[in-house]
Amino acid sequence: MTFTPVSKIEPALRNALPRAAFRELSAAYLEEPRGRYHGAGGLVLAPTDVGEVSRAMRLAAEARVAVVPYGGGTGLVGGQVAEHGAPLILSLERMTAIREVLPGENAMIVEAGAILADVQAAAQEAGRLFPLSLASEGSARIGGLLATNAGGINTLRYGNARDQVLGLEAVLPDGTVWNGLTRLRKNNMGYDLRHLLIGAEGTLGIITAAALKLQPRPAAEGAAFFVVPSPQAALDLLSVAQARVGGGVQAFELIGRMGLDFLSETMPEVRQPFGEKPDWMVLVDLGLPAGQEADAALEAIFAEALEAALVSDGVIAQSEGQRAEFWALRESIPEANRRIGSVSSHDISVPLGAIPDFILRGGEAVAAIGEFRINCFGHVGDGNLHYNVFPMPGRNRADHENERPAIKRAVHDLVHEMGGSVSAEHGIGRLKVEDLERYGDPGKLAAMRAIKTALDPGGIMNPGAVLRAI
């Protein structure tokens, strides 16, 4: 099915929208961070309010022009780039207002183009916490973060992006505005359109603003690296920590020897926490209410875990600066990975209890294909691992082009067999459409297609993302 090129409605768009809304089609709108997808062309429109979005959508729908919503451009599955045709690229970059911060209600209202770091800062200024946090927070925009239901490092405590949302304002594929910007905690007025748009990756409409939940700021925070003998010990350590501080465990990140080796190799300036690199370590981050000391809690957790042989060494951050340094190590791993150059990377999750077995069996499955290095790290407290496969030293990713499909298939088959997800936090985009078809539940897929057709009969919203364009 082909779409009308946006040039056909450009005159009508120019009539309906102010000149400033039209942006130059710079390269940024046609690229994505991993360089796998390249846009062919299009017209970039950056409206300033929901009315302008609605007018543009209505014209696109009437003429059957494809519409690609564009947030911060940081998505890792190609959801922001249409490879074919000349779509209307609808950028939220000029809708960046933080409309209201309501600390007394633990809520704030922001426009979809607001950058995550700015949202976090506005919450902090009001003495509150907006807990969504991830590597690209300096450029990712709220609309895209919600459209992809982003995860990140605090999911263990606060949930995914969708769990931070009270209400939405959005434009549906026919241009209809949904005014759902409520900040109510309890509201059972019909189907939950909010959660349907969140995670739909711009295929069912465009989120233009959101009412977000805020959290109390923890009174005391602290972090530690603990050396664990195995992934199973890491999980047992998590139970020990949660038993002691309840929801106070904010993040619980697994880091393997390979990740530390990659850091030494490509970023030697990153300080290693232990003289001898451990096979496995975890970064434990706590946030506690008034009256509790993070250091004392981390020491108590370490002591209890040592007794149970769940840890063998550890270092507790002695200052906020050191805590930031610990986090910087964790956040440097993706960059080190990029410098090494992965053959295949996988954003997967498995049930918590299955993690140790998955790591074991994943290694075997990859070894059956060839000799590779595996860097397995990530948000182990959520069962979400970044499971990345690299060439051996002296070789590079180009040498293994032919093996990539087999590796991906072996890892994904194993994840699926173990009840996991082959898209834990990055979404489907264009990269994983076939994976969704292969591993998704057929009943759910049929329902998804029916919903897509019902809300977007012309199939204009981000065609080719999530579901195959028809």
Q: Residue 117: CB partners within 8 Å, gap ≥ 6?
A: 137, 138
Which residue in the set 55, 141, 379, 412 belongs to the binding site for a copy of itself (CB under 8 A)?
379
Spatial distance between the Cα atoms of 97 and 107, rounded to a whole number of angstroms: 15
Binding segment for a copy of itself among 86-94, 327-335, 386-394, 443-451 (CB under 8 A)?
443-451
Q: Applying CB under 8 A, does 118 fall inside the site for a copy of itself?
A: no
Residues within window 65-104 making contact with a copy of itself, judged by CB under 8 A: 102, 104
Which residue in the set 73, 420, 458, 459 belongs to the binding site for a copy of itself (CB under 8 A)?
420
Burial 226-246 (b: 16+ CB within 10 A, else e): bbbeebbbbbbbbebbbebbe
- Measured in degrees and rounded to the nearest 5, phi and psi for residue 207 equal -75, 125
Q: Measured from the CB atom, is 27 or 290 closer to a copy of itself?
A: 290
Residues within window 444-463 making contact with a copy of itself, judged by CB under 8 A: 444-448, 450-451, 453-455
Neighbour-count burial of 404, counting CB atoms closer than 10 A to its CB (0-12 exposed, 13-18 middle, 19+ buried): middle
Residues within window 10-39 making contact with a copy of itself, judged by CB under 8 A: none
Which residue in the set 4, 133, 160, 332 belongs to the binding site for a copy of itself (CB under 8 A)?
160
Q: Applying CB under 8 A, does 321 fall inside the site for a copy of itself?
A: no
- Asked if 84 and 93 count as a contact pair (C-beta separation under 8 A), the reply is no
- Measured in degrees and rounded to the nearest 5, phi and psi for residue 282 equal -125, 150
Q: Applying CB under 8 A, does 145 fall inside the site for a copy of itself?
A: no
Q: Applying CB under 8 A, does 187 fall inside the site for a copy of itself?
A: yes
User: Number of residues in contact with a copy of itself, rule: CB under 8 A?
Assistant: 92
Q: Measured from the CB atom, is 87 or 378 closer to a copy of itself?
A: 378
Binding segment for a copy of itself among 12-20, 40-48, 57-65, 417-425 (CB under 8 A)?
417-425
Which residue in the set 352, 365, 374, 406 belongs to the binding site for a copy of itself (CB under 8 A)?
352
- Measured in degrees and rounded to the nearest 5, phi and psi for residue 250 equal -85, -35
Smallest CA-to-CA distance from 223 within 283, 159, 271, 296 is with: 283
Beta bridge partners of 29: none
Spatial distance between the Cα atoms of 276 and 448, rounded to a whole number of angstroms: 50
Q: Applying CB under 8 A, does 193 fall inside the site for a copy of itself?
A: yes
Binding segment for a copy of itself among 9-17, 114-122, 172-180, 319-327 (CB under 8 A)?
172-180
Q: Measured from the CB atom, is 88 or 200 closer to a copy of itself?
A: 200
Which residue in the set 33, 216, 341, 405 belongs to the binding site for a copy of itself (CB under 8 A)?
216
Q: Applying CB under 8 A, does 40 fall inside the site for a copy of itself?
A: no
Shortest separation between residue 401's beta carbon and a copy of itself, angstroms: 27
Q: Which positions from 272 to 311 touch a copy of itself by CB under 8 A, shown as an x/- string?
A: -----------------xxxx-------------------
Q: Measured from the CB atom, is 329 or 467 closer to a copy of itself?
A: 467
Q: Applying CB under 8 A, does 176 fall inside the site for a copy of itself?
A: yes
Spatial distance between the Cα atoms of 279 and 178, rounded to a whole number of angstroms: 51
Which residue in the set 33, 138, 247, 405 belongs to the binding site for a copy of itself (CB under 8 A)?
247
Q: Applying CB under 8 A, does 414 fall inside the site for a copy of itself?
A: no
Q: Measured from the CB atom, is 154 or 337 closer to a copy of itself?
A: 154
Q: Applying CB under 8 A, does 423 fall inside the site for a copy of itself?
A: yes
Binding segment for a copy of itself among 191-199, 273-281, 304-312, 319-327 (CB under 8 A)?
191-199
Which residue in the set 425, 460, 464, 469 belongs to the binding site for a copy of itself (CB under 8 A)?
425
Binding segment for a copy of itself among 58-66, 272-280, 357-365, 433-441 (CB under 8 A)?
433-441
Shortest separation between residue 156's beta carbon and a copy of itself, angstroms: 8
